[in-house]
Amino acid sequence: MTELELAVEPARGTAAHYIDFFLNWAEKKGEVPASTVQNWRTASIKVLEIENNWQDVNVIDFDLEAHLQRFETLRRTLYKSGSMDAYKSRTRTGIHAYRAWESGASDWKPKSAGTPRRTRAKSKQSDWPNFSVTGAAPDPTPASDHAGYVPPSTPLIEHQLPLRPGIRTHITLPEDLTEKEAMRVARFVQSLAFSSDQPAITAGEASVE
């Protein structure tokens, strides 16, 4: 760390120290994946900025859950429920990690933040998210065998997408979805589309090679 960085380091325990110092440090040192850090940073700023001079808020001593509830009350008309839940969850996880790090705990990193990817020797289908359409018949396949199954240690967020009038698609994705993973999801959905001269893919026929 340079002398300039030391000179401008925000007061410890403040939102500014959490955002501008801790998260930057965790990303640069590779302590937490860059995509996860970015998710924590974006969500935390949106949640904390409901306060005046939010950079000076003591995020170690303040009532985090009460603040998250205030954020939901004040911003409920701006975000859909999925986005609201994601912002709250990411902020909670990031601040808890910061509090543990500040206390000197050696296990401050959330379990999902440093979990390595599963090897390709395992089922490729298990890498794909779970897509379902409201009104579809229940899927009898056990969760552990389902193409959208993700270990419970990874936080998941369910998003709703109005696909067409009368149909809403539910997409369950990891909380720390990366840009690369998002592109894979997009390509998978694109592969399911059919033109007017092609028959629709019925339930049970879709598969990932």
What secondary structure does DSSP assign to 52-86, as a single string? TTGGG-BTTTS-HHHHHHHHHHHHTTTS-HHHHHH
Task: Using DSSP, state whether 169 is helix, strand or coil.
Answer: strand
Q: Cα(90)–Cα(40) distance, rounded to whole angstroms?
A: 5
Report the distance separating Cα 49 and Cα 33, nearest Å: 24
Per-residue confidence (pLDDT) for residue 153, from 0 to 100? 54
Separation of alpha carbons 118 and 97, rounded Å? 24
pLDDT > 50? residue 1: no
The string of pLDDT tens digits covering residues 113-136 is 544 444 444 444 444 445 444 444
Taking each helix axis as running N to C, give the angle between helix 34-48 and helix 81-102, from 0 to 180 degrees, rounded to the nearest 10. Answer: 100
Residue 197 has pLDDT above 80, yes or no: no
Q: Is residue 147's pLDDT more than 80?
A: no
Average pLDDT over residues 88-116: 85
More confident residue, 50 or 160: 50
Q: Within 13 Å of residue 36, how many CA atoms lie on the same side as its CB?
A: 23
Model confidence at 56: pLDDT above 70: yes
